[in-house]
Structure 1
Amino acid sequence: MTRARRTAAELLGDDPPKTARPHQVKDHRQRLVLAQAEHAELKNRALKGELLSRGAVVAEWSAILREVRAGVLSAPSRIRSRLPHLTQHDVATIDEVLRAILTDLAADSNAEAPSVAVQAVQ
């Protein structure tokens, strides 16, 4: 049996040189364990329904903002019906101002669209 061990050691050669210090390996393992724990936590929260998909949030906010936009664009006709003394020019000016505001907001949101992680708040 001793001969078999010696032969295997001769075939395999010496231990490979250590490329990382022990504390570096320990740090790497710690980071790996933490990443795995975080992954498991996110998976559990998703299964519990505590997280929302980015696509669902984008779709919901898009629908809300379409309704807001439609409401703002309908404001001039609503104002005209409630304030019949306004001239056509007055209503056109109100419409122009509201459209300019919507255009400015759209330009600002396109320029500053941040990428964010979305999570339900309870």
Structure 2
Amino acid sequence: MIDLLADLLGPDSAPLKPLAPSARPVTPADPETACMGRVSEATLAQLLGLTAGRIRQLQQDGVFQRVGRKDESFDIAASVRAYCDFMRDSVKRQGSTDELKAEKVRQAKAAAEKLEIANAKSRGELVPVAEVRAAWADLLRDVRAGLLAVPSRCGAELATKLAAEDVAVIDREIRLALERLADDR
């Protein structure tokens, strides 16, 4: 019978001890569990690794049902199945509670981040992206215009030293450099 119960509980359960001599197995009415019998509250507690008080509490909660003439014993198979079902349901309930907690934490973090952004905006630490892009575009337009003016300014100041072809080479190189910068974007 111990081996049968160990199979029901699975390989991760604590090793089972033989039933106490006071536990008198009685043949249950259900033929499927006829080989298993009934046990006392203390034996069921030992079998499941619980206290007798916890067995009584679970019985009051409707997990275990007493059987017998004077309701003094528990059917082993039915009790083990009921306890396994109870534990599975507990794990499912705990899983949904964990998901709910995780969602609340995520929402709290999002709210805190939103508040931090609003505070940074009010302190002037953040600027709109469109304004930054417009400022950079203006600056780069001015830089481009200044660079493109270099060959003609150099040609005018150095007219005696530079030929028109030299000014054209400088102009071509500056334009090429600007095109390469534009292509890298």
Fold conserved between structures, TM > 0.5: yes
**1:21 is matched with which residue: 85, 96, 104?**
96
SS at match of 2:156: helix
Aligned to 1:108: 184
Moved more, 47-56 or 64-73: 47-56
Distance in 2 (alpha carbons) for counterparts of 1:86 and 1:75: 13
Which has the higher relative contact order, 1 or 2, with Cα contacts under 8 A spaced 6 or more apart? 1
Is 1:56 matched with 2:131? yes
RMSD: 1.7
Distance in 2 (alpha carbons) for counterparts of 1:20 and 1:78: 75
Is 1:45 matched with 2:114? no
Query: What's the CA shift for 1:18?
Result: 5.5
**More helix by percentage:** 1
TM-score, normalisation: structure 2: 0.47
Distance in 2 (alpha carbons) for counterparts of 1:24 and 1:79: 71
Is 1:81 matched with 2:81? no
For structure 2, list consecutive stretches of 5 or more residues without a partner in the other structure: 1-91
Distance in 2 (alpha carbons) for counterparts of 1:99 and 1:19: 68
Letter in 1 for 2:164: Q
Across the two proteins, how many residue pairs are aligned to each other? Answer: 93
Find runs of 4+ consecutive structure 1 residues off by over 4 angstroms.
17-20
Letter in 1 for 2:97: P
Distance in 2 (alpha carbons) for counterparts of 1:36 and 1:28: 12
Query: What's the CA shift for 1:82?
Result: 3.0
Letter in 2 for 1:95: D
Moved more, 79-88 or 49-58: 79-88
Query: What's the CA shift for 1:103?
Result: 1.0
When Rg is computed on C-alpha atoms for both structures, the one with the higher figure is 2
**2:174 is matched with which residue: 95, 98, 114?**
98
Letter in 2 for 1:71: G
For structure 1, list consecutive stretches of 5 or more residues without a partner in the other structure: 1-16, 110-122
